[in-house]
Amino acid sequence: MPMGLLTFLVLTLSSLALAASTTSTLASVSESAAATTTTDDSPEYSITALPAVVSAPACVFNCLFPGALNDPVGCDNVTNNCACLSAPANAIDFITGCIETVCASSTSAYAASATSLYESYCDSIYGTATFSEAFVEEASAAAMSSSLASVEATQSSSTIHPSTTSSGSASASPTKSDAERWQPALYFGTIAVGGLLILAVL
């Protein structure tokens, strides 16, 4: 086989393999980018610096402590945006439940005081209109999430099962993304093209 033709075949096969590898890498990068969330650069949630909170009973102060909102509100870092706008209803539910659990007496009065302090803090930063809108958006997001969960449950319960026919059995297979379908085809195509070129030369 002429040396130039052999080099051409090697370069062609290498290029096809590189294209397959690049496609796989781009798919991974795309998935990572989709998972990346926007950075919250709002100031730190500092409700415990307020004089009214500092002078409140210990159980009230502890239930208003910023770190306590990590789970109920979903904050990685407890900033004003996250504490006040992400899930204000969840925050109030948490504060109320915390007071009822931690405070030994006057739980009703303490809960009212604590939620009032929380609402006043957020109102002072964002204004009543923006803070109120956050409740509406939270309720809308919760309804959307519930609706999606219901649809997924319905789809899951009505999954097509394999059915037997006179010609044999057929089963539904999971769908794959375009990139997943294309990548194996490219590898097999590479081998086929290389084989055909070699046969043509021989």
Could you report the per-residue pLDDT of 79-110, keeping only the tens digit for each?
999 999 999 999 999 999 999 999 999 999 99
Could you report the per-residue pLDDT of 117-167, keeping only the tens digit for each?
999 999 999 999 999 999 999 999 889 887 777 777 777 766 655 554 444
Q: Where are the domains of the chain?
A: 47-149
pLDDT at 94: 96
183-192 mean pLDDT: 53
* pLDDT bracket for residue 192 (50, 70, 90): low
- Does the CA dihedral 143-148-149-154 come out positive or negative? positive
Residue pair 79/125 in contact by the 8 Å Cβ criterion: no
Q: Report, in angstroms and rounded to the nearest whole number, the Rg of the chain calculated over CA atoms.
A: 30
pLDDT at 144: 85
C-alpha to C-alpha distance for 116 and 99, rounded to whole angstroms: 13
